Structure 1
Amino acid sequence: MTDLVDERLRAAIVNGELALGQQVSEAQLAARMGVSKTPVREALVRLKADGLVEIHPQRGTFVFRLDGDQVGQLCRYRAAIETAALRESMLLAPQSLAGALDERVHAMRKAERARDQKALALLDMEFHHQLFEHCANPYLLAGYNVIRWQLVAMRHRAPITNAVSSHQVLVQAIGQGQVEQACQLLVGHVLDNEQRYTAVCTPPG
C-alpha cells in the first residue's frame, strides 16, 4: 500500500497536480486515496528522502520549492557530476554512449514534431541519465540521484524548447571523441536551465 501511495503522490508532484510549495495533509491525502494515514506517512518519508517534500514539525508537510540561490546551486552541482560522468563514459565506452544518446535525440525529434512536451521531458531525463549508465561509477550515480526527482519535477513544469538542437551538438562532440568540447557544451547546456527552473519555483504574483 505504501508503494502505491508513493507512486501516486510522486506522480502528482512531478506532473504538477500538486504545486511547488503546496502544503499537503496526511489526513486529506488518506481520505482522497481511500487508505489509512500510515501508508501516506510512510510514503511522505520516502518522498522527503528524494527531495520532493519538506516535513517541518509543528508546521506541516509541503511540496518542495527552491529559491533562486538553491536553483543555482542545484544546476552547478548537476553540471559538475554530469561532466565527471561524461569524462568517465568517454574513456570507457564513447561509441556506445554516443549511440545511446543519438537514439534519444531521434525520439526527441519525433516528440517535438508531435508537440508532446511530456515525452520531451522524459526523454531529456533519459538522455542525461545515459551519462551515468555508461560511466560504471556507482558513486556518481548516487550523487545524481540526490537531485534526480527535483529535476524531473522541474523538467515537467519547464520543458526545454530546443531539445533536439541543444542535445545534437553534444552527441556530435562525443561521437568525434572531443572530450573537452563535449564537457564545455554539457556545462553550458545544464546551466542554461537555471533561469527556467527559477521561474517555475517562483511563487505566482
Structure 2
Amino acid sequence: MQLVSKTYSSAERAFHEVKERILTGMLPGGELISEGEIAADLGMSRTPVREAFLRLEAEGWMKLYPKRGALIVPIPPAEAEHVAHARYVVETGAVRALVAVDRSTLDAALQESLDRQRELADTKDFARFAVVDTDFHRTYVVAAGNPLLTGFYDSLRERQRRMNSVALHRGSTDIDKIIEQHARLADLIGAGDATGFAAALVEHLAGVHQLELRGL
C-alpha cells in the first residue's frame, strides 16, 4: 500500500512540476523533452513521469511521440485570440456591473496589487509577476459578484498565466508599460467609466499579447 501511495505521490509531483514549468514558460512551446531528463531532474523513476506526461497530453499541454519524447504544445494563435476575446467579454461585463456600487474596497485592493507589481518589476521575477498580473484582473471580476462569470473566468486562468509568461519571456513586453496600463484600468474602474475601461482593455490585451482583436 505504501508503494502505491509513493508512486501516486511521485506522479502527482511530476505532473504539477512539469505543468508549472509550462505555465511559467520555463518549458516553451515547441521544445522536445524526454521522460528520462525530467525523471533525473526530479530525482524519481520514469514511471511516475510517464503517468504525468499522459495526463499533460490529455489536457492538451504536450504531444507524446513514442521513442522520441514529448513536445510542448505551443499556444495556437487562434487560442490566444479566443482567450483575449473571452476575457474582454467577462471583464467589461464585470466593470459595467460595478458602476452602480461602492468601489472603495476594490480600489484599495487594486492599488495594493499595483504596489506588488512594481516590487516584482524590480526583481524581474517574470513567473511571479505573471501570477500577480492574472490576479489583478480577477480582482475586479470577483468584485462584480457574479459567481458564474467568476467560475468561467477561472477556467481561463492557466491559459492566462501561460500567455502572460510567454509575453514576458519574449522580451518584447515592457513590464513598466503593463503596470502603467493596469494603473489606467484601475483609474477607469474607480471613476466608473465602463466605456473608457473597455477601450483601454482592448489596447492592453492587444499590446501585451501582440494580437489584432477584431470586432472589439
Give the deviation of 1:177 after TM superposition: 1.7
Letter of the 2:184 partner, please give it: V
How high is the TM-score relative to the length of structure 1? 0.75
Matched, 1:150 2:156: no
Identify unmatched segments of 5+ residues in structure 1. 197-205
Q: Are the aligned partners of 2:39 and 2:45 in contact in 1 as well (CA < 8 Å)?
A: yes
> CA deviation digits over 1:19-38, x for unaligned, max 9?
21223444553344333455
| Larger Rg computed on CA atoms | 2
- Residue type at the aligned position of 1:54: M
Change (3 A) 1:87 1:47: farther
Task: Indicate which of 180, 183, 186 corresponds to 2:201.
Answer: 186
- The amino acid that maps onto 1:116 is K
Q: 3-state SS of the aligned residue for 1:20?
A: coil
Q: In structure 1, which of residues 173, 189, 192 is the aligned counterpart of residue 188 of structure 2? A: 173
Which of 87, 112, 115 matches 1:106?
115
- Partner Cα distance (1:88, 1:57) in 2: 48
Show CA shifts across 1:51-109 (max 9, x none).
5x134686964322123333222322222222223333445553222221111112223
Alignment partner of 1:192: what SS?
helix
Q: What's the offset of the Cα at 1:130?
A: 0.9
CA RMSD in angstroms comes to 3.0
Greater relative contact order (Cα < 8 A, sep 6+): 1
How far apart in 1 are the matches of 2:64 and 2:99? 43
Superposition map of 1:33-52 within 5 A: 33-44=42-53, 46-48=55-57, 51=60
User: Which one-letter code corresponds to 1:148 in the other structure?
Assistant: R
Q: Percent identity?
A: 27
Quick check: 2:98–2:192 contact (8 Å CA) kept in 1? Answer: no
**Matched residue SS, 1:62:** strand
Matched, 1:195 2:203: no
Give the match's secondary structure for 2:25: coil
Structure 1 residues 23 and 134: CA distance shift in structure 2, 3 A: same
Rounded to whole Å, the distance in 1 between the matches of 2:59 and 2:149 is: 16
What residue is the counterpart of 1:97 in the other structure? 106
Is 1:29 matched with 2:44? no
2:82 matched to 1:73? Answer: yes
Counting matched residue pairs gives 194
In the alignment, structure 1 residue 126 sits paired with structure 2 residue 135: yes
Alignment partner of 2:192: what SS?
coil
Q: Secondary structure at the match of 2:85?
A: helix
**What TM-score results when the alignment is normalised by the length of structure 2?**
0.72
Q: 1:32 to 1:77 in 2, by over 3 A?
A: same
- Give 1:157 shift: 3.1
Which stretch shows the higher mean deviation, 78-87 or 161-170?
78-87
User: Counterparts of 2:138 and 2:53 in 1: how far apart (Å)?
Assistant: 25
Distance 1:147 1:60, change over 3 A: farther
